Amino acid sequence: MSASLITDARSFLFVPGNRPERFDKALGSPADMVIVDLEDAVPAANKAAARVALASVWQQWPTTQRARVVVRINATQTDCHQDDLAWLAQLPGLPAVMLPKAENPSDMTGLQDVLGEAATALIPIIESAEGLANVDALARSPRVLRLAFGNLDFQADLGMACGADEAELAPVRVAIVVASRRAGLTAPIDGVTTDTQDMVRVQTDAARSLRFGFGAKLCIHPLQVPAVHTAFAPTATQIDWAQRVLQAEAAAGGGAFTVDGRMVDPPVLKLARHCLAMARII
Distance CA 121, CA 234 (A): 28
Residues in Cβ contact with 223 at an 8 Å cutoff, skipping those fewer than 6 apart: 196, 197, 199
Q: Provide mean pLDDT across the span 49-74.
A: 96
To the question of pTM greater than 0.85 for the whole model, the response is: yes
Domains of the chain plus CATH, in order, are: 2-232 (3.20.20.60), 236-281 (no CATH)
Q: What is the pLDDT of residues 107-161, one digit of tens each?
A: 888 898 888 888 899 999 999 999 999 999 999 999 999 999 999 999 999 999 9
CA 279 to chain centre: 19
Residue-level pLDDT at 281 = 64
Q: What is the pLDDT of residues 231-278, one digit of tens each?
A: 998 777 778 878 888 888 888 877 778 888 888 878 888 878 877 777
pLDDT at 33 over 60: yes
3-state secondary structure of 276: helix
Q: Provide mean pLDDT across the span 41-52.
A: 96
Would you say 217 and 206 are in contact if contact means Cβ atoms under 8 Å apart? Answer: yes
